[in-house]
Structure 1
Amino acid sequence: MIFNFDREFQSMMQEHNLTIVILLGHLNPDGDAAGSVMGLAHYIKVNYPQYKVLPYLADTLDKGPKKQVSMDKVFNPFEKPDVEEKYGVIVCDTAVLARMIGRKYYEGAEASIVIDHHASNEGYGDVNYTKTSEACAENVYYILDENKLKNTIDCEISPTAADYIYMGILHDTGCFNRVQVSTMQAAMKLLEMGVDHSYVMQTMYKDTLESLQKRLELLKRAERLLDGAVACVCINHAECETEEISYEDIHPISGFLRDCEDIKLGFTMYEEEENRWRCSFRSDGKWINVNELLQAFGGGGHAAAAGVRKRTNDVEKFKQEILERIIMMRKFSVQDK
């Protein structure tokens, strides 16, 4: 049965006699989380004006998508919702409760709808629609009424619901570097509706000369592992402070490493605070499934892109545990073939 957002949304609001809906994403939101949350917020506002819509995103939103959100004429999603009445919640692009921004709003809601695309989704929420795909925003597109989505373009100036959904797809696919037929079909339909590709593409341009110079220095730290098939950049908290390196600086590095012709898996290890490491992994999803790899350590995501946070005072031991699991998974993968 095809998930129908309009039916599920109206059912939630009417059955619980609600007039307010809060939309949430994950901690340190990316373009997909922002696109999904803001796209749905505008869709509801235009098509269901009887309801008050309150999107909420962490102000640690990636710099690129923040450009578009900052131009929003309707919502300021960086302000925490102030609600006294009962309300419903919609959560987007968030696989596990531990990663949710504004979790207190979810826990205080009368009812909830979850829309996600992670294979590792916990299945939480009163209504949970999780379909593994290239972007949560792609799932959002396919569950909406096409005429009502087109209505948002006719009724509002940019950024509209369609602009945001397109932004989400653009960011989570790396400008369509990782797509399925359904992804491209969704993108084409959004363009046909009136989305301006060049306008949304501005959210992809976030480099400065300084950021490129930092990236160069980080890439110089890359270490080859497992006979050169794997590359890693590891930076501790003291180095981060001394060299003024933020997570935003190091986050793209795993993707750059993965995209090298001679590298199968790229990952970064960033000590965001003493003994707390934030790690990002990128592969093609075939040589190694990084979602499966990191689930053993409490992380997860997608086959080709996943992450994990780990508290440890011995990061080298943690790194070795990861490498040993890679070796084991590769061994079983070869045997299966």
Structure 2
Amino acid sequence: MMKSNELDTVVVLGHINPDGDAAGSVMGIAHYIGVNYPEYQVFPYLADTIDKGPKLQVRQDKKFDPFEKPDLQGKRFATVICDTATLARLSGREFYEASVASIVIDHHASNEGYGDRNYTKVSEACAVNVFYSLNQDDLKKAAEAEEYPNAADYIYLGIVHDTNAFQRADESIMKAATKLLELGVDHRRIIQTRQIDTLEDLEKRADILKNAIRVLDGKVAYVCINKEEKVKKNISYEEIHPISSILRDCADIELGFTMYEEEPDRWRCSFRSDGKWLDVNELITPFGGGGHAGAAGLRKRTGDMEELRSQILERVKKLRAEKCFT
């Protein structure tokens, strides 16, 4: 596509508020291209609202500064989009819309099918799909050509973060991880990007969890933070983001979710399950959200959060009844 369109520049993008999977996929591809296609200029771009752990690794990058938007005015270029199911969630969407050619690599069941080439395979991590889509000899070359963090380090970062440190792993994921370790990835170093909580962080998280409410025979738990509580307790989205996973991982909870008023009357919600008790992508698709069977998100403008929450819980009951019936 680069040759047929006579392009020499490519921009690599991920979703808004990037997590480890988005950051690892974007930066891994950027380094891979940078080493194996030196005739191309490559610009990875990540929003500065990236999760704290992955940000530690990205800040050590010796080659790219992905938090600075590239100036490509008047230039023809291609885009590679990673880990982004819908255009509404794409960070740097203006680059995609101005690009001559585009490739999408994703793992969400809710992917819209956009882009000139769209490779979406439902899996636990986009970085897994990135790994298997790359030429393995060229990936080895990229890993050997650069110091930490290199392409292999970033792909491993993405896998570690989206599989919750391999708690959600299958044979293909473990094979990818093993091959990355063989390329020199330091597991101990990268796993530290998941272990960044301070005592103050834990104390604040405990305070947030005190607001958890259990419903539906105790199988569902949620935390709702409105704008007043957000301001009063200085709770950021980064601090509420892990709560749904923490709730889901409790032995007596099947579905955990959070509702966070990021702007007046605009709510950002996160849903987590094991994907079997309830498919959360199926749960929230009618509300305009999406993701995976086990992890999905929703942004919704509403002046009546309680009504939205009631509708979501009613749909949980409906889907569970259908599942139990079949």
Return the letter of the residue paired with 2:218.
G
Q: Residue 296 of structure 1: SS of its match in structure 2?
A: helix
For the residue of structure 1 that corresponds to 2:3, the secondary structure is: helix
CA distance in 1, matches of 2:81, 2:221: 34
Instruction: State the one-letter code of the partner of 1:183.
Output: I
> Which of 18, 27, 43 in structure 2 is aligned with 1:38?
27
For the residue of structure 1 that corresponds to 2:155, the secondary structure is helix
1:48 alignment counterpart: 37
Q: What are the Cα deviations for residues 84-115 of structure 1, in whole angstroms up to 9, with x where unaligned? A: 32000000000000000010100000010000
Give the Cα–Cα distance (whole angstroms) in 2 for the partners of residues 236 and 15 of structure 1. 51
Q: Does 1:105 align with 2:85?
A: no
5 Å-filtered alignment, 1:157-236, equals 157-236=147-226
Which residue among 68, 79, 99 is the counterpart of 1:89? 79
Alignment-derived partner of residue 143 in structure 1 = 133
Q: Deviations 1:263-319 (Å, cap 9, x if unpaired)?
A: 110001111111111011100100000001010100010100101011111111111
Q: Could you tell me which residue of structure 2 aligns to residue 61 of structure 1? A: 50
Alignment correspondent of 2:322: 332
Is 150-159 or 32-41 further displaced after alignment? 150-159
Aligned residue for 1:18?
A: 7
Give the distance between the partners of 1:307 and 1:187, measured in 2 at CA: 27
- Partners of 2:184 and 2:227 in 1: how far apart? 46
* SS of the residue 1:174 aligns to: coil
Q: In the alignment, what sits opposite 1:7?
A: none
Q: Detail structure 1 runs of 4+ shifted over 2 Å in the superposition.
A: none
Query: Which amino acid is 1:159 matched to?
Result: P
Structure 2 residue identity aligned to 1:51: Y
TM-score by length of 1: 0.96
3-state SS of the aligned residue for 1:215?
helix
Q: Distance in 2 between matches of 1:85 and 1:252?
A: 40
- Cα offset for 1:50? 0.3
* Corresponding residue number in structure 2 for 1:257: 247
Structure 1 residue 63: Cα displacement? 0.5
Q: Residues of 1 paired with 2:130 and 2:286: CA distance?
A: 29
The whole-number CA distance in structure 2 between the counterparts of 1:253 and 1:197 is 25
**Alignment RMSD, CA only?**
0.6
For residues 196 and 3 of structure 2, the distance between their equivalents in structure 1, rounded to whole angstroms, comes to: 42
1:283 counterpart = 2:285: no
The separation in 2 between residues aligned to 1:229 and 1:238, in whole angstroms, is 28
Q: Displacement, 1:192?
A: 1.0
Query: What TM-score does the superposition give when structure 2 sets the normalisation length?
Result: 0.99
CA drift at 1:227: 1.2
Equivalent residue of 2:223, what SS? strand
Q: Which moved more, 1:20-29 or 1:195-204?
A: 195-204
Q: Deviations over 1:232-260 (max 9, x none)?
A: 11110111011100011111111111111
CA distances 1:175-211 after superposition (whole Å, capped 9, x unpaired): 0011111011100110011111011112112211111
Q: Secondary structure at the match of 2:85?
A: coil
Amino acid at match of 1:321: Q
Q: 1:44, 1:23 → 2: CA distance?
A: 10
1:294 corresponds to 2:284: yes
- Residues 11-61 of structure 1: per-residue CA shift (max 9 Å, x gap): x10010000000000000000000000000000000000000000000000
Q: Distance in 2 between matches of 1:46 and 1:256?
A: 39
Name the amino acid aligned to 1:156.
E
Structure 1: stretches of 5+ with no match in the other structure = 1-11
* In 1: Cα distance, 2:26 partner to 2:251 partner: 35
User: Counterparts of 1:329 and 1:108 in 2: how far apart (Å)?
Assistant: 41
Q: Deviations over 1:64-93 (max 9, x none)?
A: 000000000000000001113200000000
- The equivalent position to 2:302 in structure 1, one of 298, 306, 312, is 312
Q: Give structure 2 stretches of 5+ with no counterpart.
A: none
Counterpart secondary structure, 2:271: strand
Alignment-mate amino acid for residue 114 of structure 2: Y
Q: Secondary structure at the match of 1:159?
A: coil
In structure 2, how many angstroms separate the alpha carbons of the residues matched to 1:256 and 1:201? 18
Q: 2 CA distance for matches of 1:295 and 1:179?
A: 25
Aligned length: 325
